[in-house]
Amino acid sequence: GSLQPLNSDCVTLTRFVLSEQKRAPHATGELTQLFGTVGQKNVQGEEVKKLDILANELFINMLSSSYTVALLISEENETVVEVETEKRGKYIVAFDPLDGSSNIDCLVSIGSIFAIMKKEDNSIPSLKDALKPGNTVVAAGYALYGSATMMVISLGTGVHGFMLDPSIGEFILTDRNLRVPPRGKIYSINEGYTHIWDDAIKEYIQKKKDPKQGKPYNARYVGSMVADVHRTFKYGGIFIYPATKESPNGKLRLLYECIPMAYLMTQAGGLASNGKISILDVQPEELHQRSPIFLGSKEDVEEVLEIIKKHS
């Protein structure tokens, strides 16, 4: 067969972040340097580790040695991880190194999620620096390990998607300025918990299935937040992980699951609420705090919020 001509001008992730840096008037290059660490691989395979532990070690090692980070918050670490003084930079990174743990063993899509914040002063990094609301995020993103590997990021100027080309080991810009459709036809929630939902959630999901109230929505639920949120970006609709009678704050974690996704969804023209206020306005009080989340197409989220208001 004929060889595909080599594209000598494709926008790699590194190239994209560099050009974003040029657009920022006071940029020092440190954030760019931080992104530079994501493309590099370093799996030495000394011993077989659980994939999520391995992913966590990779995140911590690569971020700490980027000389850009002061403090790390990981789903896998009970307390904050302080970067040693000599390697310390000005950013704070909250991440879930490998989300969707129940899908690892059966090879269903999983992902990594992160948010980047800036440390305001030169004080020794501490817990209070970690408890920052979503409206202080400077960049966020996720990697989805699906039928292809994709990175979706925002540095505050829209949401952009990059597909990994394994033949050259680069993430190539494939989805510039991703916008979530204003309304979708999909609801995504774990319906096995119907018996412990609030009446508002029951009413909303019932409505989405009732042909008398419009064309019924499709149900889609992978059980990996990154996959469910990525589908919502591409096709529209709503992703819900509500509070229930058993877990009054839902399941998903505010700092490294809800906030990064809320930041991205807002940047893409959608909404992300905890049922009362924007996820980005919630003041975190604990490192591993949970939050209910309603995220997706603007009109779909508004619709469920109306029903919640009516029931409250």
Binding site for Mg ion (CB under 5 A): 96, 99
Q: Should residue 101 be labelled a site residue for ligand AHM when binding is judged by CB under 6 A?
A: yes
| Residue (99 or 228) nearer to Mg ion, CB | 99
Q: Should residue 99 be labelled a site residue for ligand AHM when binding is judged by CB under 6 A?
A: yes
Strand order in the sheet with 160-165: 81-82, 69-74, 91-99, 110-118, 137-145, 149-154, 160-165, 170-175
Q: Should residue 66 be labelled a site residue for ligand AHM when binding is judged by CB under 6 A?
A: no
Q: Which residues inside 183-202 make contact with ligand AHM, applying CB under 6 A?
A: 190
| Residue (217 or 263) nearer to Mg ion, CB | 263
Instruction: Report what 114 binds from Mg ion, ligand AHM, none; CB cut-off 5-8 Å by kind.
Output: none
Binding segment for ligand AHM among 25-33, 98-106, 114-122, 196-204 (CB under 6 A)? 98-106
3-class SS letters over 100-138: CHHHCCCCCCEEEEEEEEECCCCCCCCHHHHCCCHHHEE
Phi and psi, residue 149, nearest 5°:
-100, 130
User: 247-266 mask for ligand AHM (x: CB under 6 A)?
Assistant: ----x---------------
Q: Should residue 88 be labelled a site residue for ligand AHM when binding is judged by CB under 6 A?
A: no
| Residue (81 or 155) nearer to ligand AHM, CB | 81
Q: Should residue 300 be labelled a site residue for ligand AHM when binding is judged by CB under 6 A?
A: no
| Residue (31 or 301) nearer to ligand AHM, CB | 301
Q: Which residues are near ligand AHM by CB under 6 A?
A: 75, 96, 99-102, 190, 223-225, 228, 241, 251
